[in-house]
Amino acid sequence: MKYRLLGRTGLSVSEVGVGGAGIGQVWGATTDAECIRLVRRAVELGINFFDTSPMYGRGKSEEILGHGLDGLRDRVYIATKVRLQTAEDLADMAGAVRRSVEQSLRRLRTDHVDVLQIHHQLGSEGGQYLAAVGPPPRYAYRLNREQALELGHAMQRVVEEGKARFLGITAWDGHPGVFEPLLASGVFHTAQILYNLLNRTAAIAPPSGFDDVDQGRVIEVAHRNEVGIICIRAHAAGALTEKLDRDVVPDSEVARDFARSRRFGHLKEGACATLSQAALRFCLDDPRIATVVPGFKNVAELEESAACSWLPLASR
């Protein structure tokens, strides 16, 4: 496994990490036992960065990760998140952060996390957005710049208490007028950024006819401010794989993206044996990205992606 610096944190993280949605059983069928094996196998393979959230499986992901890392905590870095869920949370951010972090630490079986991140979309105006289709559909708050900064300052208190080391934001599907000043503020050390073969707008201007969410070339903004870049959705929620391994709605974004991803089959002609590997290697080819965190749900998926650390991408 190769390692890269996570921005100005100074942390040397594995360029392939583990995203927690899979072990939270969000991305399809798996078992607790398989997910625990996955976590421990990841450490064996040299992976030292694990990203999770209390929202993944309603705490399941953090519980599995805490169990899997039993006896291994000093070999890894753990990132988790905070999401404000009620109007009361918005009115008392410091209290909401404290409650969320204390619950996360119990589930993770640790006394601190290495990165604590805002788990909200960021926009020019507040409000709600559809966070999960469901059923039932689930909604989350969109934070404006002032709210995000206020939440960041509330999270800093947890850092001062030694329960977190660094802070981060989720800078995807956001608004450039919001994430640019936030990344320049010095409050946040990391940013989760959506970037993949189907949506490259975190790095380049959108092409003619582009009909997805423009990520605002945020990679350059983060890099310029020495913010560590955590790449998410490298596989476009499973669309950039050989076949869909879970049922999806026929007219959903995942179904649309899966159909579009068939045009990248030529990438398997090089060192990458699967489209999944080619998709991950594409993200790793950008040296500004510190780590990519796919949401594995079994050991086979983990091992296939871990091998990408040493694979070249022959063509695009």
Model pLDDT for residues 251-284, shown as the tens digit of each residue: 889 999 999 999 998 888 778 899 999 999 999 9
Q: Tens of pLDDT along 217-241? A: 999 999 999 999 999 999 999 999 9
Q: What is the pLDDT of residue 313?
A: 64
**What is the rounded distance in angstroms from the CA atom of residue 225 to the CA atom of residue 220?**
9
Residue with the two structure tokens 């000093």: 74
Identity of the residue numbered 38: L
pTM of the model: 0.95
The two three-digit tokens of residue 142, written as one number = 């969109």
pLDDT tier at 133, thresholds 50, 70, 90: low
- CB neighbours of residue 83 within 10 Å: 19
Predicted local confidence at residue 95, as pLDDT: 97
In this predicted structure, what is the pLDDT of residue 298?
A: 96
Confidence of residue 245 (pLDDT cuts 50, 70, 90): confident
311, 267 contact by CB (below 8 A): no
DSSP label of 122? B
Mean pLDDT rounded to a whole number for the chain: 93
**Whole-number pLDDT of residue 79:** 98
User: CA–CA distance from 122 to each of 95, 143, 168, 199 (Å)?
Assistant: 21, 5, 13, 19
For residues 199-205, give the mean pLDDT.
97
Give the rounded percent of residues in the chain with a pLDDT score beyond 90. 82
* 10-32 b/e (C-beta count within 10 Å ≥ 16 → b): ebebbbbbbbbbbbbbbbeebee
Burial class (CB in 10 A: 0-12, 13-18, 19+), 244: middle
